[in-house]
A and B are shown apart, each in its own frame.
Chain A
Amino acid sequence: MNALIHRLRTQARAAEARTDLVVAIVALALAALVVPTALRGEGPTLANLQIVGYFGAIAIAAMGLNLLVGYVRLVSLGQGAFFAVGAYASAWLLVDGDLSPLLAILVALVAAGAIGAVLAVCSMRLRGPAFAMITLVVAILVEQILVEWRPLGRLSGYPNALDHGSGLIDPVEIFGLTLEPPLFAGTAVTVVIAIVFVAAIVFLGYRNAVGSAWGRSLRAIGTSEHLAAHLGVNVFSRKVVVMAVASVYGALGGVFYAQVMAHLQPETFDIFLSITIVLAVILGGGGTVVGPVIGAAVIVILQQTNVLVPVVDAQRSISDSWYLSTPGLIGLLLVLTLAFLPHGIVGSLVRLTHRGTEEPSEVETGADDGSELARSSDAVADAVLSVPTDGGGENLLEVRGAVRRFGGLTAVGGVDLTVRRGTVHALIGPNGAGKTTLANLVTGVYAVNEGELVLEGQRIDRWPTHRIVRGGVARTFQTPLIFAEESVEENVLAGFLDTGTMPFWRAWLKLPGQYRRNAEMRERAEQLLELVGLAGHGHLEAGNLSYGKQRALEIARALASGPKLLILDEPAAGLNTSETSVLGELLIRLRDRGLSLILVEHHMDLVTQVSDEVTCMNTGVVLAHGSTAEVLADPAVVEAYLGVAVEEGS
């Protein structure tokens, strides 16, 4: 058995490594295609080489923007500004600052990253379009600085003959190699060679990052920040990091642009540049790995070659004054893409191929036998669950006198609740009793106004959600919060604490040890799916699962973090009778292996089946507490649920 698992794990690892290797070879080979032409540097090819260099620059900026627009779903209209910062800062440091090329480039990138991070710190609490508005304001301001600030040459561009004696940035020399721009016939265009290889490398790093647990956290934030925090992600700092990374990618594009053109004009960096990069992402496919690269290629061809000339000419033959030229056509293309290709070129292709392979039988009908949750076995549970029972007393969680008010409403008014290790504590009460608010207090969604929360002897009532989650508390939600467009397996993988703890650099580099960890996580995810009765569902799109299965999936994801305490918010809501009893068996299995549970529930059958202890809340206070039988027999509880009993005959 162990040998088999080991072999499967090795195979999975090898498959992943093989895919990565093939992608790396393809990327580098594509880059290498440019080399012979660039080395000859013949006059007629220079214009095309310039376009290739420009494509590399835009593609890199678009990859960075995709992290924001495609993954975190924050629309930035300011990527062009970071492109400009990279271009102008590196050029200025080279020409006026006289820094060594590598240092100049590095400083420019760090500066752009810092600006991005500061902007993120200031604006990440914004919801809705405000982020797009602010980035637009920044983009316009940067353009204004380029146009008006004297040291950057204003409209004469940078560098210019008047201030610098030459209108061109001298070719830089890095590691003994002189990077010649595509300007002089007969000179090897070494800068384009450097660009395509660096672009290939930063593409591979970006691909590693988005395919990693780090990348998963971005999708999680894009779906719901609330959920992301409950996966252990520090949403604020992750957004700051991703904004900084996106800015550095934008600036790297700008650095390359400066090297290819050897001269900068401020009007190149107007707001239209930002829109061009946005269109590259949207057209190629936001949230897909290669989308931005494909999109950049299409846009650059449209803009820099004369393929659009016939379109313009055709319009002008109708009306010589009312027609669209390139910027207008790009704007129109943006609208058409949004309307007819919302997932972009790559996203749509992926969807097409998926539809071909998936059996249509997975359209769920809800209650038929085929779609029931499968019962799992003790053996699976033993294999998957290992709750650390390291000391800290008998009580895992103690809620003491918790109070939470919303304005004038006291949702939770002085509640005590103790969860003993390895027990199920059911929390019942009519709607509006404050049960979910209490659950939200435990996971730090709201801070308590009064009272304390103690987890394993530690005060947690001032901890942010992600820290509480990492401390061993996991939960599911009243309405399932899942990544509907991702596979079931991806959903479970998002549950591992790696999602919150993996740093960007580790994700980008993807060190060899990562393959082992990925195989391990995939294997555990498989086991967890089996445990909750979803064996064999891993490849399906999560949004297509029935409601009951989505709830099971949420439990599997919550278990992936290896929690000590699992909070289930109405897990049986919407489940049929047999599904409820399967769920009950699962909960008992979890408890028997040392997990502690808080079960917020209305289904009294389930409560009776699994609970060791019951607390009944009403209007924010504890109405009754004790063993299941005691609480359910309590007249006050019956009254809260059913109203005052009317005496017969009265």
Chain B
Amino acid sequence: MDAVISGLVLGGLFTLVGQSIVLTFVTTRTINFASGEFLAVAAFIGLGLGSWTWLPGPGKIVIAVLAVGVLGALTYRFLVVPFSHGEHDTRWLLSTVGLSYVLVNLLTNAYGANPQRLGFGRISEPKTLLGANINAQALLITVLAIIVTLVLVAGSKWTSSGLLMRAVAEDAETASLMGVSPRRVGAYAYAGASALAGLAGVLWAAEVGVSSHLGLPILVSAFAVAVIGGLTSFWGPLVGGAIYAVVVQIASYEIGSLWGSIIGLLLVIGVLVVRPEGLLGRRMEAKL
């Protein structure tokens, strides 16, 4: 039971980053493989703001998140748009991978590899939920992840920007003929997605410390979560995050952390065999 609850709570972190992946995928059919490093960048920005003692913690978080949002829009403009001409062009994938190496390397050279204390944005008192001791910071992230999921689901269905987003995803060319700029929509999606990654980064770094290698393990889990849930549905990361994290946590408790990871991968593969489009994803028929 402890494992189930702590898994559900941990799943929120993967959900939040998973939403960042789904958000760019549904609008632009691309994914930022440097998302993991955006977590670290946000955390380091937060660290740099530590000396601004006049600014309360939430203010620092907002600045860090916005800055990473801008970084995301720039990434889209300079590393994704020029590298995605048509469905066969997957250079964007490698260009964002390249960016992730540049960022990790810069941060490691500048700050060293050891984690540093962020010093704000952390809920310190432990909480109990349904009789289980849980990490309050992870719970905070999970609550945020659920809110973000609901906002994205509702927003994509009922707001005009959600409509634009879906239109661009469906057929960017037709959308552009209707006077929608797919690039602008894509840039906003990247900014929003990166802000989500940044938010996850600052909040998680408050718990585990700021380091240049903060992001990769979380990104990998978020990938697993997004694939399980389906890359085309905002419900996907929430459901996928819960299932994945619970399974991994139970396996880790029972057999050991390595087996937790192995079983997590097997879960991903199992879902792919049964439903390649993910549990909640929509099957995309190829046009002939």
Out of A73, A122, A321, name the residue touching B269 (CB < 8 Å): A122
| Contact between B220 and A140, CB atoms less than 8 A apart | yes
Contacts of A129 in B (CB 8 A): 25, 30-31, 90, 93
| Contact between A334 and B94, CB atoms less than 8 A apart | yes
Out of A77, A126, A132, A271, name the residue touching B276 (CB < 8 Å): A126
Contacts of B82 in A (CB 8 A): 339
Chain B nearest Cβ from A128, distance in angstroms: 7
Give chain B's interface secondary structure class: helix
| Contact between B29 and A128, CB atoms less than 8 A apart | yes
| Contact between B102 and A328, CB atoms less than 8 A apart | yes
**Restricting to A97-149, which residues have a CB under 8 Å from any CB of B?**
119, 121-123, 125-130, 132-134, 136-138, 140-141, 144-145, 148-149
Chain A nearest Cβ from B253, distance in angstroms: 16
Contacts of A261 in B (CB 8 A): none
B231 at interface, CB cutoff 8 A: yes
| Contact between B102 and A332, CB atoms less than 8 A apart | yes
Known: A73-B88, A75-B90, A325-B109. A137 touches B224 (CB 8 A): yes
Out of B217, B273, B284, name the residue touching A122 (CB < 8 Å): B273
Chain B nearest Cβ from A230, distance in angstroms: 10
**Restricting to B233-262, which residues have a CB under 8 Å from any CB of A?**
257-258, 261-262
Contacts of A545 in B (CB 8 A): none
| Contact between B97 and A322, CB atoms less than 8 A apart | no
Contacts of B284 in A (CB 8 A): 127
Known: A75-B94, A322-B106, A338-B91. A331 touches B216 (CB 8 A): no
Contacts of B33 in A (CB 8 A): 132, 136
**Bound-complex Cα distance A222 to B93 (A):** 17
Which B-chain residue is minimally distant from A119 (CB atoms)?
B269
Mask: chain B, 84-109; 1 = CB below 8 Å from A; 0 = not: 00001011011101111110111001
Contacts of A137 in B (CB 8 A): 220, 223-224, 265, 268
Chain A nearest Cβ from B101, distance in angstroms: 3
Mask: chain A, 319-331; 1 = CB below 8 Å from B; 0 = not: 0011111011111
Which B-chain residue is minimally distant from A312 (CB atoms)?
B109
**Bound-complex Cα distance A453 to B161 (A):** 48
**Restricting to A320-368, which residues have a CB under 8 Å from any CB of B?**
321-325, 327-335, 338-339, 342
**Bound-complex Cα distance A140 to B258 (A):** 12
Known: A137-B268, A141-B262. A322 touches B109 (CB 8 A): yes
B79 at interface, CB cutoff 8 A: yes
**Bound-complex Cα distance A504 to B229 (A):** 36
Out of A133, A141, A440, name the residue touching B261 (CB < 8 Å): A141
**Bound-complex Cα distance A75 to B83 (A):** 14
Contacts of B88 in A (CB 8 A): 73, 222-223
Give chain A's interface secondary structure class: helix
| Contact between B227 and A130, CB atoms less than 8 A apart | yes
Out of B90, B217, B257, name the residue touching A148 (CB < 8 Å): B257
A282 at interface, CB cutoff 8 A: yes
| Contact between A133 and B31, CB atoms less than 8 A apart | yes
Contacts of A375 in B (CB 8 A): none
**Bound-complex Cα distance A272 to B100 (A):** 11
Which B-chain residue is minimally distant from A130 (CB atoms)?
B227
A226 at interface, CB cutoff 8 A: yes
Known: A129-B31, A321-B109, A338-B91. A136 touches B220 (CB 8 A): yes
Known: A140-B220, A148-B258, A226-B286. A324 touches B105 (CB 8 A): yes
Contacts of A331 in B (CB 8 A): 97-102, 105
| Contact between A335 and B95, CB atoms less than 8 A apart | yes
Contacts of A324 in B (CB 8 A): 102, 105-106, 109
Chain A nearest Cβ from B133, distance in angstroms: 25
Contacts of A332 in B (CB 8 A): 98, 101-102
A275 at interface, CB cutoff 8 A: yes
| Contact between B258 and A75, CB atoms less than 8 A apart | no
**Bound-complex Cα distance A223 to B110 (A):** 44
B226 at interface, CB cutoff 8 A: yes
Known: A134-B268, A144-B261, A342-B91. A322 touches B110 (CB 8 A): yes
B272 at interface, CB cutoff 8 A: yes
Contacts of B101 in A (CB 8 A): 272, 275, 327-328, 330-332, 334
B288 at interface, CB cutoff 8 A: yes
Contacts of B276 in A (CB 8 A): 123, 125-126, 130
| Contact between B258 and A144, CB atoms less than 8 A apart | yes
Chain B nearest Cβ from A274, distance in angstroms: 9
A415 at interface, CB cutoff 8 A: no
A494 at interface, CB cutoff 8 A: no
Contacts of B109 in A (CB 8 A): 321-325, 328
Considering only CB atoms and an 8 Å cut-off, how many residues of chain B contact the other chain? 47
| Contact between B106 and A338, CB atoms less than 8 A apart | no
Of listed A125, A333, A440, residue having the most chain B CB within 10 A: A125
Which B-chain residue is minimally distant from A132 (CB atoms)?
B93
| Contact between A123 and B272, CB atoms less than 8 A apart | yes
Known: A331-B99, A335-B99. A282 touches B94 (CB 8 A): yes
**Bound-complex Cα distance A347 to B199 (A):** 42
Out of A126, A148, A334, name the residue touching B95 (CB < 8 Å): A334
Out of A132, A325, A338, A440, name the residue touching B83 (CB < 8 Å): A338
Mask: chain A, 135-174; 1 = CB below 8 Å from B; 0 = not: 0111011001100110000000000000000000000000
Which A-chain residue is minimally distant from B25 (CB atoms)?
A129
A200 at interface, CB cutoff 8 A: no
A34 at interface, CB cutoff 8 A: no
Contacts of A436 in B (CB 8 A): 288
Of listed B30, B97, B104, B261, residue having the most chain A CB within 10 A: B97
**Bound-complex Cα distance A126 to B262 (A):** 21
Of listed B101, B231, B261, B269, residue having the most chain A CB within 10 A: B101
Contacts of A280 in B (CB 8 A): none
Contacts of A138 in B (CB 8 A): 265
Mask: chain B, 205-227; 1 = CB below 8 Å from A; 0 = not: 00000000000110010011011
**Restricting to B32-83, which residues have a CB under 8 Å from any CB of A?**
33, 79, 82-83
Which A-chain residue is minimally distant from B21 (CB atoms)?
A133
Of listed B88, B223, B273, residue having the most chain A CB within 10 A: B223
Which A-chain residue is minimally distant from B271 (CB atoms)?
A122
**Bound-complex Cα distance A272 to B106 (A):** 15
Which A-chain residue is minimally distant from B286 (CB atoms)?
A226
Known: A127-B284, A149-B258, A331-B100. A338 touches B94 (CB 8 A): yes
| Contact between A278 and B94, CB atoms less than 8 A apart | yes
**Restricting to A222-278, which residues have a CB under 8 Å from any CB of B?**
222-223, 225-226, 271-272, 275, 278
Out of A73, A125, A275, A323, name the residue touching B97 (CB < 8 Å): A275
| Contact between A140 and B217, CB atoms less than 8 A apart | yes
Contacts of A24 in B (CB 8 A): none
Chain B nearest Cβ from A229, distance in angstroms: 11
**Bound-complex Cα distance A452 to B101 (A):** 56
Contacts of A278 in B (CB 8 A): 94, 97
Extra contacts, 6 of them, besides A119-B269, A144-B261 (Cβ < 8 A), are A75-B94, A134-B227, A327-B104, A330-B101, A335-B95, A338-B91
A-B contact pairs, 25 of them (CB 8 A): A73-B88, A123-B269, A129-B90, A129-B93, A136-B223, A137-B224, A137-B265, A140-B217, A148-B258, A226-B288, A275-B97, A278-B94, A278-B97, A324-B105, A325-B105, A328-B106, A330-B101, A331-B99, A334-B97, A334-B98, A335-B95, A335-B102, A338-B94, A339-B82, A342-B91
- Interface residues of A, Cβ cutoff 8 Å to B: 73, 75, 77, 119, 121-123, 125-130, 132-134, 136-138, 140-141, 144-145, 148-149, 222-223, 225-226, 271-272, 275, 278, 282, 321-325, 327-335, 338-339, 342, 436, 440, 445
- Interface residues of B, Cβ cutoff 8 Å to A: 25, 29-31, 33, 79, 82-83, 88, 90-91, 93-95, 97-102, 104-106, 109-111, 216-217, 220, 223-224, 226-227, 231, 257-258, 261-262, 265, 268-269, 272-273, 276, 284, 286, 288
The 4 closest A-B pairs by CB, nearest first: A331-B101, A328-B105, A334-B98, A335-B98
